[in-house]
Amino acid sequence: MIILGEWGIGKTSLLRLLKRIAQQKGLLASLCSMPKFTDKDSTQDVVNLIIEEILKGFPVIKSTDKFMEEIESFGISIAGFGGQVTRRKKKPSPQILLTDILLKLWKHIESKLAIILIDDIQNFNSMPQVIDILRLVLSREEIMLKTNYLFILTSTLRGWHYFIDKHDPIGRFFRKRETIQPLSKNETTKVIVETLKNSGVKFSKEIMQRIYQPTIGHPYE
């Protein structure tokens, strides 16, 4: 699933809320924050970072030692748990590596559903092939039949349109889309009232209206 919205609209806050709700229900959830990449970064570097971020969010493993042994069998060594992925020997391709990690990780986690939240994928603009790799991995039969992962990605609208222009299959794969819109005037008033509850501060109706006019319901503004 892809969540779309402009900067400051609340995408990251929504992912944090989804993570908290999932954990309250006894499910595993990992929030992966993606930095901005450049042409100097390789696809392998980005996939490695995604793997590191996923592992940091899934500390509940039945047998950590065994899992670490299996991870090292791919030619990578993770310092601590979710630490830096370092080269030990020749690694498989990023696509095969991510597939194998997800399959082996699933065997060791105790959860009916594992949720992976990847924030700000527009930062992959310099290497859209990373999103295509993710699409190919999640389309693999063994991933669909043997695991139960839910991937939720966020992107700016402009960033997402860039991916669709470059790689149309990506847009078709992430058919489940939710676009976050600015708050309505009534929603803006409710947010302000709820935020100020028990603070001893109140705004008049006139001020409420004047708050909405320049912000147009944008949460950050």
pLDDT at 31: 92
Residue in this structure with the two tokens 């058919």, named with its chain if needed: 175
Q: Which helix (H) or strand (E) holds 208?
A: helix 205-215
For the segment 132-160, the average pLDDT, to the nearest whole number, is 91
pTM of the model: 0.80
Which is it for the CA torsion 39, 164, 11, 101, positive or negative? negative
Q: What are phi and psi of 169, to 5 degrees?
A: -60, -30
Instruction: Tell me how far CA of residue 203 lies from CA of 142, 185, 199, 217, in angstroms.
Output: 56, 15, 12, 16
pLDDT at 142 over 70: yes
pLDDT tens digits, one per residue of 9-47: 999 999 999 999 998 998 889 999 888 887 788 888 888
* Beta-sheet pairing, 85-87 with 114-119: unpaired
In Å, the largest CA–CA distance within the chain is: 67
